[in-house]
Chain A
Amino acid sequence: MNHFHDWAYLAFAFAGLTMATVVTRGSFFMLPARFALPAQVERALRYAPACALTAIIAQGVLTRDHQPYLTISNYQWWALLAGALVFIKTRNMIAMITVGMTVFTVLRIWA
């Protein structure tokens, strides 16, 4: 079954995701003034978003069918690498996506 057509699944998912938006953005707006973050917790919070994004990207690009997918013919990986280099150099998101998708399409068709 395609989960994108399962409306009950999506409705529950979106309800929880909306909560995730409000609970994090509202955290310290809603909490009483006496609550403050311990320094160590604040440090951990600083790294968590980058790590979560990395985990998603790594599993998306470097795995296939629940297996590591670390071969030369992993075109998504080369495209992502090319795009990342462009972004580090230019800080231009459009340039990164254009280069990444072009590299991927070229490899997919001709390699």
Chain B
Amino acid sequence: MIRMSLLPPLDRTAYREGVKAMTPLAAAVAVWGVVTGVAMVNAGLTIPAALLMTFTVFAGSAQLAVMPLLATGAPLPIVWVTALLVNLRFVIFAAASRRSFMHLPWPQRLLASYLNGDLGFALFSRRFASADQHGNPEQWGYFYGVAFVNWGVWQAGSVVGFLIGGLMPSDWGFELAAYLALMAVLIPMVQRFPAVAGIISTAAVAVLAVGLPLRLGLLLAVLVGVTVALVGEALRDRRLSRLSRV
């Protein structure tokens, strides 16, 4: 019988380095977990359901994004597609760091995938940006040092958030906290003209098309926004190349 471990060989020194790299960021992760936890419970989720959600889904922005959809009993395909759209950034992360993981046995790749959130990816890609060899115990050690601290701190923060949220009256309109928390994810993504044009058109379509059945206005808005951003990017590139020729 082949005994299959879920973890690849981890270099101890690199593991500790990962833990250390994550430590100064732990406070931010914990706070974001608390905010998400409070927002989930304030949206109306019971504490058992919130616990089930955080320990399975493990994706803060997606959890917050689908909360208003779940509250109104939106069709599940719309709920899932919304989460997929919010999560699409992970596809880019995975494409960028795949060389370090793709030769592992698939159960190990699956666990690494599940734990590969925003911060983990940011630290990992900064640390090994100039590495000439990919996929070794040093990189896996660092990755899991970061990932385990991130997972533990995030879940602890979320659970504290559920408890705090459970103590607060739910009729104070605190679902606004969830939208504010999502703004903290959104704003750093929107630094340049094409992205700004994209989200403004998205917002306009989302509001005007809110009456569409099955919450399809959401998807239409994203489609229009991405198209506007891509067109904006093409226009900008053409203008830049014309300027550089002068």
Contacts and interface: CB of A to CB of B under 8 A. Distances in A.
A29 B94 contact: yes
A17 B80 CA distance: 6
Contacts of B95: 27-28, 36-37, 42
Contacts of B94: 24-29
B71 interface: yes
Contacts of A26: 94, 109-110, 113-114
Nearest to A48: B88
B184 A50 contact: no
Interface residues of B, number: 93
A94 B31 contact: yes
A28 B99 CA distance: 9
Nearest to B59: A21
Given A58-B207, A62-B207, A94-B31, A45 B91 contact: yes
Given A52-B85, A60-B175, A80-B179, A25 B116 contact: yes
A110 to B, nearest CB: 15
Contact of A70 (B31, B114, B207): B207
Given A43-B230, A51-B202, A66-B211, A13 B79 contact: yes
Nearest to B232: A47
Contacts of A71: none
A22 interface: yes
A68 to B, nearest CB: 5
Contacts of A105: 172
B153 interface: no
B59 A20 contact: yes
A50 B207 contact: no
**Residue in B68, B86, B230 with the greatest tally of chain A CB atoms within 10 Å:** B86
B199 A101 contact: no
A14 B52 CA distance: 8
A87 B187 contact: yes
**Residue in A2, A48, A66, A100 with the greatest tally of chain B CB atoms within 10 Å:** A48
Contacts, number: 282
A93 to B, nearest CB: 4
A14 B202 contact: no
Main SS at interface, chain B: helix
Contacts of A5: 46
Contacts of A25: 87, 90, 93-94, 113-114, 116-117
Contacts of A7: 49
A96 to B, nearest CB: 6
Given A21-B87, A24-B90, A37-B95, A52 B180 contact: no
A43 B28 CA distance: 29
A12 B70 contact: no
A50 B198 contact: yes
B69 to A, nearest CB: 8
Nearest to A51: B225
B66 A76 contact: no
7 contacts: A29-B102, A51-B202, A52-B86, A54-B203, A55-B225, A59-B207, A87-B183
